[in-house]
Amino acid sequence: MITFDNVSKEYPDGTVAVDSLNFEIRQGEFFVLIGPSGCGKTTTLKMINRLIPLSDGTIFINGKKISEYNIHELRWNIGYVLQQIALFPHMTIEENITVVPEMKNWNREKMKQRVHELLEMVGLDPETYAVRKPKELSGGQQQRVGVIRALAADPEMILMDEPFSALDPISREKLQDDLLRLKKNLKKTTVFVTHDMQEALKLADRICVMKDGKIVQIGTPDELTKNPANEFVKEFLGDKLAWDGDFHVEEVLQPISEEGIYGSLSDVPISIPLQELLEKLSEQEQLAVQKNGRQIGIVNRQTVINYLSVQLQKRDMPNE
Ligand SMILES: Nc1ncnc2c1ncn2[C@@H]1O[C@H](COP(=O)(O)OP(=O)(O)OP(=O)(O)O)[C@@H](O)[C@H]1O
């Protein structure tokens, strides 16, 4: 259990990143921190494993102040997954996964068995992948290794900071499914940061919505969608839910070409010059896709922007 007791963080330049946070993350719970950019999610997360010192208040883990834990003991007990996982390039996947178990002096046999079990859990064949180097894996596969590496030494809890946000939408969805499976099997206390409400609703036991360093609402996905605390939460939920309606933009749109975005929804072709699409989306949050005057889907601005940025990255880095 993680308890925030009146926790605040003011950075040296005077920015108050989080302000008087009081909440509890329960044992075995999958807890999602969500909110717009700059609302204090990452700061909140990094205070838990003491990567960022608190300015005020106290965080307790299982009733003991985090400042009273030995720092190594604390970090080993808390798996940590970042957006840009940094696997050691010169080590094999197996060596990467066993970095912490190695430090904890696990014996060879136990480590081998653990690597095998973890790779299988995320659908990577151990015979093939354990001996590979990171660069011989796709971005999505590397991210999977990042997740299981955080689990390798069987930590009591896991912190995840937008672990899938750099991935293309399809890999992202696969990893979310993996994580759902891991969640059911492991029942570990997990704190997961995202700004994607769809992801939060899919994964969370409870969601904590933040704004300007404060908590706006904490609740289960069901509680949030049925009883949003205010307009802010409603808005945050609203467009994401609407977008989930009929289709996913990534299923519809093909990678961009210079001229525009092309794709099809079932048998309905969509062909819209990129400039025109962006102009339309700069005026409105969502764009309805119509066929014969009937709305058949909605394209959400943020989703298109995320999608385009992934595609542009891929285009700029064809070998990545
Ligand atoms: N080292 C720092 N020094 C000063 N201000 C900082 C520092 N790190 C973060 N901040 C500020 O603190 C606030 C909260 O930042 P934080 O990174 O926790 O937000 P976030 O919700 O995780 O944002 P994002 O979704 O963009 O990652 C922001 O206003 C940010 O500019």
281 lines ligand 1 (CB under 6 A): no
Global ipTM = 0.97
Which of 121, 111, 168, 184 lies closest to 147 in space, CA to CA?
Answer: 121
Which ligand 1 atom is at minimum distance from the Cα of 35?
21
- Give the highest mean pLDDT range of 42-56, 154-168, 301-315: 42-56
60 found inside a domain: yes
Is there a single domain that holds both residue 108 and residue 184?
Answer: yes
43 lines ligand 1 (CB under 6 A): yes
Residue nearest to atom 17 of ligand 1 (CA): 42
Please check the confidence at residue 11 and state whether its pLDDT lies above 90: yes
Distance CA(310)–CA(64), nearest Å, equals: 42
37 found inside a domain: yes
**Domain limits for position 292:** 249-316
Residue nearest to atom 1 of ligand 1 (CA): 11
Count the neighbouring beta carbons within 10 Å of the beta carbon of residue 120: 12
Cα torsion 116, 122, 123, 128 to 10°: value is: -40
199 found inside a domain: yes
Residue predicted with more confidence, 100 or 161: 161
Is there a single domain that holds both residue 172 and residue 42?
Answer: yes
Handedness of CA 304, 39, 80, 198 (dihedral sign): negative
Residue nearest to atom 10 of ligand 1 (CA): 17
244 found inside a domain: no
CATH of the domain at 51: 3.40.50.300
Widest Cα–Cα separation across the chain? 67
Is there a single domain that holds both residue 175 and residue 304?
Answer: no
- Ligand 1: distance of its center to the CA of 83 in Å? 15
Is there a single domain that holds both residue 221 and residue 254?
Answer: no
Q: How many residues does the chain have?
A: 320
pLDDT band at 12 (very low <50, low <70, confident <90, very high): very high
Question: For the segment 237-261, what is each residue's pLDDT rounded down to a tens digit?
Answer: 754 433 333 334 444 454 444 444 4
Domain end: 198, 230, 262, which one? 230
* pTM score: 0.73
Which ligand 1 atom is at minimum distance from the Cα of 42?
22
Which of 61, 73, 15, 60 lies closest to 39 in space, CA to CA?
Answer: 15
- Ligand 1: distance of its center to the CA of 34 in Å? 13
Question: For the segment 16-33, what is each residue's pLDDT rounded down to a tens digit?
Answer: 999 999 999 999 999 999
Q: Residue 192 forms beta bridges with which residues?
A: 32, 160
Is there a single domain that holds both residue 226 and residue 256?
Answer: no
Q: How many domains does the chain have?
A: 2
Distance CA(226)–CA(201), nearest Å, equals: 12
Count the neighbouring beta carbons within 10 Å of the beta carbon of residue 45: 20
77 found inside a domain: yes
Residue predicted with more confidence, 270 or 54: 54
Is there a single domain that holds both residue 60 and residue 126?
Answer: yes
Is there a single domain that holds both residue 41 and residue 120?
Answer: yes
Distance CA(292)–CA(298), nearest Å, equals: 15
Domain end: 230, 258, 280, which one? 230
Q: What are phi and psi of 64, to 5 degrees?
A: -110, 135
pLDDT band at 225 (very low <50, low <70, confident <90, very high): confident
Is there a single domain that holds both residue 77 and residue 187?
Answer: yes
- Ligand 1: distance of its center to the CA of 76 in Å? 25
**CB distance 246 to 76 below 8 Å:** no
- pLDDT at 252 (0 to 100): 47
**Averaged pLDDT, 207-232:** 90
H or E stretch covering 78? strand 78-81
- pLDDT at 17 (0 to 100): 96
H or E stretch covering 160? strand 157-161
Distance CA(144)–CA(162), nearest Å, equals: 13
Is there a single domain that holds both residue 126 and residue 225?
Answer: yes
Distance CA(93)–CA(88), nearest Å, equals: 9
88 lines ligand 1 (CB under 6 A): no
Is there a single domain that holds both residue 224 and residue 255?
Answer: no
175 found inside a domain: yes
236 found inside a domain: no
240 found inside a domain: no
State how far the alpha carbon of 128 is from the alpha carbons of 137, 148, 289, in Å.
Answer: 11, 16, 44
**Averaged pLDDT, 307-314:** 63
